[in-house]
Chain A
Amino acid sequence: MDYFPGNWGNPRTGGETYGPVSHKAMPANHATPTTRTQQPIVTGTSVLGIKYKDGVMLAADTLASYGSLARFRDVERLIKAGDSTVVGASGDISDFQHISHMLEKILIKEYNTEDGHKLYARHIHEYLSRVMYNRRSNFNPLWNSLIVAGVRDRDGGKFLGFVDLQGTTYEASTVATGYGSYIAQPLLRKAVEGREDTLTEEEAIKILDDCMRVLYYRDARSLNKIQRATVNASGVTITEPYELESEWAFAEGIRGYGATE
């Protein structure tokens, strides 16, 4: 293992694997190579989002994985952006921290302008989509899938949108990233589509908790410690991390887990 990112992506020196490196192809003391996110390193898994009667709700676990290693178990992947928006991220955690800083910067700039305008969810979503698209166009992507949820604009309304590393954007009444888009999205659609304006907060919480539990059972990069973010008339609330109940006794009877037959 080579812990120096500057060496990653370069041919090994000493030729222990491939023989001596030809410095014609790559000069020995050339300037530091430009570093780009070519692959995510420390990653977060799925984020889920739904609309419900009074607003929008997101859920994500608090695990940051290093490959298959469960490296950091208390990383918060849902952040508040302004008074009426939350952003949830999966993918590279350091890229997300960079995005958090950019959001903080534009929110402060907007606040200091004192022109009566505020950045609502749809503005944050538009901003992020242009940043993500611009970075992909320079072949230097921010390796994330982002979910933006909150109050649409100053006239109110619900907003639930998606942006990814290629700049793809969409809005929907249910959204999910990563494995969530395969495992949780069908469950979310069944529970939510057509009921966006009738689902109560309690029902919404149950839907998300149940889906996060299913993900915990099947997604090997997930954790049963999760957070939920809610945006409604009373503003933004992000819960403290809490644990989901899970039941593994059945595994004893499954061949490959516990059963010997």
Chain B
Amino acid sequence: MLSHATSCPVQAPVEHRFSPYTDNGGTTLAIAGDDFCVIAGDTRQSEGYNINTRYAPKVFQLSNGAVLATGGMYADAVTLMKRLEQRLEWYRHQHEKEMSCGALAQMLSTILYHKRFFPYYVWNTLGGLDEEGHGAVYSYDPVGNYEKHKWNCSGSAGHLIQPFLDNQIGFKHQLANATSLTIPQVLKITKDAFTSATERDIYTGDYLELFVVTKEGITKEKFELKKD
């Protein structure tokens, strides 16, 4: 980088070199049940120590019946969403059916990897139902590594919530109690997880938006979190 500060009298007051990336924080979570899937995320958008807004949804209901939860850079997430919706529409026109959840999961990985050297700075979690009607959760890193899980939490409070889910959803260290959970049980655990994370993580708070995917369709619920 050539030095330009020496020949120019004006010092930029804050920024010196342009960075195309920012981190807008936020936490997302998805849990697969036997015949349902819960996908949730808080709605706070932050930048540094600022709260930009208390309500910027980052969990998106997709037109094929899946739900995508995003975290990281909001502008990249919005752009990625637009591309996904466009591809889902093309798929409908070409094949006269909706894209399956598994196909979408693979496509998302490919889209992310195509930007391997200028990545979308987004941590995705995709939730929906697989072809057998069982809950399915896929989680991604920004360059398209992905894995299928039963439960996943990522984002700014991911490290706070994931071990809690391992214990309460996966029954780790308490395998004797293992049962399959119902929707109300999963919603209760999710809300508790987020209320606790809000206490410790400054980037999580304001509202929690929860989506429940079943074969009957998708329902959405809004839950209050602390606003401080």
A: residues with CB less than 8 A from B are: 1-2, 7-12, 17, 26, 37-41, 43, 66-67, 129, 133, 136-137, 139, 141, 162, 165-172, 181-182, 185, 221
Contacts and interface: CB of A to CB of B under 8 A. Distances in A.
5 contacts: A38-B4, A167-B79, A169-B74, A171-B53, A171-B55
Contacts of A10: 2, 4, 7
A133 B79 contact: yes
A168 B47 contact: yes
A40 B9 CA distance: 12
Contacts of B12: 39-40
Contacts, number: 84
A39 B15 contact: yes
Measured as residues with beta carbon below 8 angstroms from the partner, the interface class of chain B is 20 to 34
B62 interface: no
B52 A162 contact: yes
A7 B2 CA distance: 12
A172 B10 contact: no
Given A9-B4, A10-B2, A166-B21, 11 more contacts: A8-B7, A8-B8, A17-B6, A38-B4, A137-B118, A162-B52, A165-B18, A167-B79, A170-B52, A172-B52, A185-B50
Counting chain B CB atoms within 10 Å of each CB, the highest count among A7, A38, A39 belongs to A39
A37 B20 CA distance: 13
Contacts of A185: 50
Contacts of B18: 37-38, 136, 139, 141, 165
B85 to A, nearest CB: 14
A171 B75 CA distance: 13
Contact of B6 (A12, A129, A136, A169): A12
B7 A67 contact: no
Given A39-B16, A185-B50, A170 B56 contact: yes
A39 B11 CA distance: 8
A43 B13 contact: yes
B53 A7 contact: no
Contact of A1 (B9, B73, B74, B75): B9
Contacts of B118: 137
Given A185-B50, A221-B13, A170 B4 contact: no
B220 interface: no
A8 B7 CA distance: 6
Contacts of A7: 7
Contacts of B21: 166
Contacts of A170: 45, 52-53, 56, 74
Contacts of B4: 8-10, 38
A133 B73 CA distance: 12
A182 B49 CA distance: 9
A172 B78 contact: no
Contacts of A38: 4, 17-18
Nearest to B14: A178
B167 interface: no
Contacts of A169: 74-75, 78
A9 B13 CA distance: 18
B24 interface: yes
A11 B78 contact: no
Q: List the 4 closest A-B pairs by CB distance, nearest first.
A: A167-B75, A67-B10, A9-B4, A172-B53
A188 to B, nearest CB: 12
B172 interface: no
B9 A67 contact: yes
B77 to A, nearest CB: 11
B149 interface: no
B54 interface: yes
Contacts of B106: none
Question: Could you say which of B20, B24, B78, B118 has the most chain A C-beta atoms within 10 Å of its C-beta?
Answer: B20
Nearest to A168: B75
Contact of A168 (B9, B10, B24, B55): B24
